[in-house]
């Protein structure tokens, strides 16, 4: 029934977990498959690495995903991006949305990255993280997509080719039919997109009804939960898959505020090793050295952690010294090599923090897709590889509580 195009791997597992919890049998695919899906499911999530790619590359990947989902029977489509709307003035959210609308021969959709359970809310078109505006939440320091504005209408108008309107909190409070009428008004006014407010889940429930006939929906995972509940008739999902206690590693590349707290807390009680950017760039044997350190420390009660997570001040120093792109690519490549070496050494549980880190690790390990397991935190489930006995937890930067890494391991059976 539902085909999801996610712009990174953590975002894909985020939305897949909410679909499963709300009654849709779901499979998550690693990239666009090269053959038809063999199993019967209600929803398919395709995880791309298109959030920070060049715009044309992100569009090409997204259109390829759309075509495959259409060929495999999906009737409604969801473009999933981060609940903090990670993008720049050039994209990729706006251009990809335009390309998907064109491919579907449609001229209107909505924008709603809200995820109230994780503190992402929208009021009068402004995106909040907790009780602060997006651009005051730490996201203004993001190394790849620094968010300097919290107004979603302005953000879309800068990066997309159409006009953006607003469906406000007051509109949502008047119910589904009124929201539909607001969509119609905005279309008559020449709008191509409508940013929709949501300060709690009751607005998302209304919105899910109002967009039931939309060809294309765009947003975070919060709305998808209510769409799934509507499509499944409100039945509960089965997501009891859990990993066994076995060789485990924590790989953290995110520099978000919450990940910094999680890394600091975990480092108080678990073996930890800082991934040095200079070594990543200059030392060809660095991944081997890191792998050997991890293997030596696998016997501890808590899994060893390799992390590139640093404070905003340290991140600025690194970027000034090496260049933002060069530093981030070096870190990603080191994590990718390290993950491959650890899998060969028998590590079967991977806990990763950060969308880029998770994406490169999954790509390097070469899995075709995943079954969706039990949630560790809202939007972060355990995933089991379709074709291997490997489990992964792919955490977006600001998701989870401070004890996330230890809590995830406490779920082992």
pLDDT in tens, 10-57: 899 999 999 999 999 999 999 999 988 888 899 999 999 899 899 999
CB-side exposure of 204: number of CA atoms within 13 Å? 26
> Can you give the pLDDT at residue 235?
79
pLDDT in tens, 347-370: 999 999 998 899 899 989 998 899
Q: How confident is the model at residue 261 (pLDDT cuts 50, 70, 90)?
A: very high
Task: Say how far apart CA 394 and CA 279 lie, in whole Å.
Answer: 25
Task: Say how far apart CA 302 and CA 291 lie, in whole Å.
Answer: 17
pLDDT in tens, 294-338: 999 999 999 999 999 999 999 999 999 999 999 999 999 999 999
Reply yes or no on whether the pLDDT at 397 is more than 90. no
Q: 74 CB contacts (<8 Å, ≥6 apart)?
A: 1, 2, 3, 44
Q: How confident is the model at residue 239 (pLDDT cuts 50, 70, 90)?
A: low
> Can you give the pLDDT at residue 39?
80
> Can you give the pLDDT at residue 238?
67
211 phi/psi in degrees, rounded to 5: -105, 20
Look at 133-147, 175-189, 201-215 and tell me which has the smallest mean pLDDT.
Answer: 133-147
pLDDT in tens, 107-153: 999 999 999 999 999 999 999 999 999 999 999 999 889 999 999 99
Helices within 82-210 (DSSP H only): 93-103, 152-159, 169-172, 176-188, 201-210
Please identify which residue in the block is written with the tokens 């016997």. Answer: 299
Question: Quick check: 330 and 360 in contact, CB under 8 A?
Answer: no
Percent of the chain with pLDDT strictly greater than 70: 100
Q: What is the mean pLDDT of the chain?
A: 95
């Amino acid at each position: 029934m539902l085909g999801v195009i996610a712009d990174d791997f953590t975002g894909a597992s985020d939305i897949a977990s909410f679909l499963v919890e709300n009654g849709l049998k779901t499979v998550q695919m690693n990239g666009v498959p090269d053959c038809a899906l063999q199993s019967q499911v209600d929803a398919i999530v395709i995880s791309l690495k298109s959030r920070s790619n060049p715009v044309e590359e992100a569009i090409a990947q997204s259109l390829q995903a759309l075509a495959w989902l259409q060929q495999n029977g999906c009737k409604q489509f969801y473009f999933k991006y981060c609940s903090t709307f990670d993008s720049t003035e050039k994209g990729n959210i706006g251009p990809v949305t335009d390309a998907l609308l064109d491919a579907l021969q449609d001229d209107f959709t909505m924008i709603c990255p809200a995820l109230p359970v994780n503190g992402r809310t929208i009021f009068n078109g402004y995106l909040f993280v907790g009780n602060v505006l997006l651009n005051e939440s730490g996201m203004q320091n993001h190394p790849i997509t620094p968010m300097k504005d919290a107004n979603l209408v302005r953000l879309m108008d800068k990066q997309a080719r159409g006009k953006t309107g607003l469906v406000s909190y007051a509109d949502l409070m008047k119910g589904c039919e009124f929201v539909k009428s607001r969509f119609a008004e905005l279309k008559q006014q020449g709008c191509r997109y409508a940013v929709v407010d949501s300060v709690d889940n009751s607005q998302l429930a209304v919105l899910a009804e109002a967009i039931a006939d939309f060809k294309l929906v765009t947003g975070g995972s919060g709305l998808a939960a209510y769409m799934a509940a509507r499509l499944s008739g409100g039945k509960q999902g089965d997501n009891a898959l859990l990993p066994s206690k076995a060789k485990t590693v924590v790989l953290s590349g995110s520099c978000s505020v919450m990940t910094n707290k999680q890394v600091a807390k975990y480092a108080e009680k678990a073996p930890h090793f800082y991934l040095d950017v200079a070594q990543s760039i200059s030392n060809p044997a660095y991944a081997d050295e890191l792998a050997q350190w991890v293997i030596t420390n696998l016997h501890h009660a808590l899994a060893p952690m390799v992390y590139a997570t640093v404070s905003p001040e340290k991140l600025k120093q690194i970027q000034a010294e090496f260049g933002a792109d060069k530093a981030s690519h070096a870190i990603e490549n080191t994590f990718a090599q390290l993950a491959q070496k650890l899998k060969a050494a028998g590590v079967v549980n991977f806990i990763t923090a950060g969308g880029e880190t998770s994406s490169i690790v999954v790509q390097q390990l070469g899995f075709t897709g995943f079954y969706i397991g039990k949630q560790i935190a809202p939007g972060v489930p355990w995933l089991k590889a379709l074709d291997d006995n490997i489990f992964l937890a792919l955490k977006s930067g600001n998701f989870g509580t401070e004890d996330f890494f230890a809590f995830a391991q406490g779920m082992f059976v």
